[in-house]
Every structure is written in C-alpha cells, then in structure tokens.
Amino acid sequence: MENVEESTNEMEEEVGKVMEQARELQEAGAGLISMISNDEQSLRLKANSLDSSIRHLRSSITTVLSQKLLDPKLADKLEEDLQTAICIITDGDAAGFLPANAQGWYLRMFLGPISVRASRKEIQLKAKEEYNSYRDRTALMFILFPLILLILRSWIWGGCLPAFPVQLYEAWLLFLNTGLALRENILRANGSDIRPWWIYHHYFAMATALVSLTWEIKGQPNCGQKQRGVELFLQWAMMQGAALLLLNRYQRRRLYTRISLGKSNSMNVARRETTGVDCQLWVLCPILFVMQVFK
C-alpha cells in the first residue's frame, strides 16, 4: 500500500510540474508575441512613412519636371534611384511590413475576410512561381485538349462531336479562368503589379465560358455544317494555346532582365517595358478583348 501511495504522490507531483511548465510556457509565449507585435508595429509605421515619402518624391519630381524646372536627365536619375529604393524594400524581408493592397471583391467572395498576404518573402515568391507554372501547364492543355477532340472527331466519332466532350472543355475553361483570377488577386494582394485590366479580362472569359456551356451542340444530320463554329473555335483555341506558351516564356525572360536591372521587384509579373511607348498597352488590351469576343 505504501508503494502505491508513493507512486500516486510522485505522479501527482509530475502532473503538477507539467501544469506549472505549461503555464510558464504560455506566459513566455505571450510575452514574446507581445514584444514581436510591438516591434512589428514599429516597423510597419516606418515602412508606411518611407512609402509615403517615396510617393511624395515621385509626385514632386513629376510636377517639377512638367513645369520644366528640372533637368530631364537629372529627373531620370532621381526616378531610377527611387525605383532602386523601392526594389530594395520590396525584394527584402521588409516587404511584409509595407502597406498591403486591398483585397478585391473576388477574393472576398471565395474566401471571405481572410487575409491572403504572406508575411515571409519566400512564401510570396513560391506563390508567384506556382502561378507561372500554372500558366505553363494550362497553355499546354489549351493545345492538347482541343487537339484531342478534333482527332477523335475525325477518327472515331465520324466527323461529329458529341455534346459532352465539348461541354467538358468549356467547363475546363471556366475552371481555368477562375483559377487564374484567384491566383492573380492573391499575387496582387502580396505586392505584385498585375494590371487590373488583365484580371478583368479573366472575369470576362469566365462569363463567356459559362454562357457557352448553355450552347446546344447539334448532331446529325448535316453534323459537319452545324458544328462548323465549334470546329473553328477548337482550332482557334489551339492557336491561342501556342501563343500563350510562347508569350509566357518571352515575358518571363524579359521580366528577369528587368529585375536584374533593378527596374522591377521580384513579385512583379510580366509587364511592358518602361522604355517602350505608352501605346503598347492600348494595342494589347483591345486585342485581348477582341479575342475573347470572338471566342
């Protein structure tokens, strides 16, 4: 009996020690989090102040230059220095303390009020790498999916496409553009410079894919004539996939050059050169929307 009582007492003492250690650990953790939170808040205030200073300086340079009170060469040098300062901040660990871009309605619709901003730079870069990989994979699918449908149409289905495979492809297009829009909104919330119009064109593509799911795919008789529009659409989709694949690779190489020159930060995605003409965007944007209308 004495041995049993001793064992019970020892067990109670050990449990008491564990409880005490748990309380101490909780207090130490709470103190550490409080200290980190205070330091983080201080860094956020400094980052906000620096961000405001950079914006003010850029605005001042533009104003003085427009009034012809500043040498254009000096203005270019000052602008490059400010851009270098921005890249130093946004490409380093301090990027997590910069003011976050507001999350749009699209993310709130899918995720609610949850923040998708990553505090660590490597997580942000991993999200960007996954986005680029997703674009490459889907560009290949853009080529293979309609190609397989056209081959099966000629060799197996006797020149007449069944409705289900075509609708499956349209559903995949809806899934594709939904995924792209989600990823781009997340990247934008983490400091990427993705243009809003590029995200909007994915919204439009989602709407067109949703509408196309309601189309009636007519069969025999005169199947070839009735499905001529579907055939042209699949051929166009293959060409678009090839164009996207080449465009992704070209833009990524150009962006790598811009990052090396300090003209872009590591979270940016493909964009036009600042040394190019301003009309490039006005040419590209209508072309993209015309392609979507044609689809």
Q: Within this chain, do residues 79 and 149 fall inside the same structural domain, yes or no?
A: no
What average pLDDT does this structure show over 84-96? 70
Q: Is residue 108 part of a domain?
A: no
* Helix 2-66 with 72-90: angle, nearest 10 deg: 170
Q: Greater confidence, 20 or 2?
A: 20
- At residue 93, the pLDDT reads 64
Q: Is residue 110 part of a domain?
A: no
Q: Is residue 54 part of a domain?
A: yes
Q: Within this chain, do residues 93 and 151 fall inside the same structural domain, yes or no?
A: no
Q: Is residue 284 part of a domain?
A: yes
Q: Within this chain, do residues 8 and 136 fall inside the same structural domain, yes or no?
A: no
Q: Within this chain, do residues 148 and 66 fall inside the same structural domain, yes or no?
A: no
Instruction: Say yes or no to pLDDT of 44 above 50.
Output: yes
- Mean pLDDT (the chain) is 75
Q: Rounded to two decimals, what is the model's pTM?
A: 0.64
Question: Which residue, of 65, 97, 129, is where some domain finishes?
Answer: 97
Instruction: Say yes or no to pLDDT of 3 above 70.
Output: no
Give residue-wise pLDDT tens across range 132-174: 888 888 888 888 888 888 888 888 777 777 878 888 888 998 9
Number of domains in the chain: 2
CA-CA distance, 162 to 113, in Å (whole number)? Answer: 42
Q: Residue 247 belongs to what domain range? A: 120-294
Give residue-wise pLDDT tens across range 234-256: 888 887 777 777 777 766 666 66
Q: Within this chain, do residues 223 and 271 fall inside the same structural domain, yes or no?
A: yes
Q: Within this chain, do residues 144 and 283 fall inside the same structural domain, yes or no?
A: yes
Give residue-wise pLDDT tens across range 171-225: 998 999 999 999 988 888 877 778 888 888 889 989 988 888 887 766 666 666 6
Q: Within this chain, do residues 191 and 265 fall inside the same structural domain, yes or no?
A: yes
Q: Residue 130, Cα to own-chain centre: how many angstroms?
A: 9
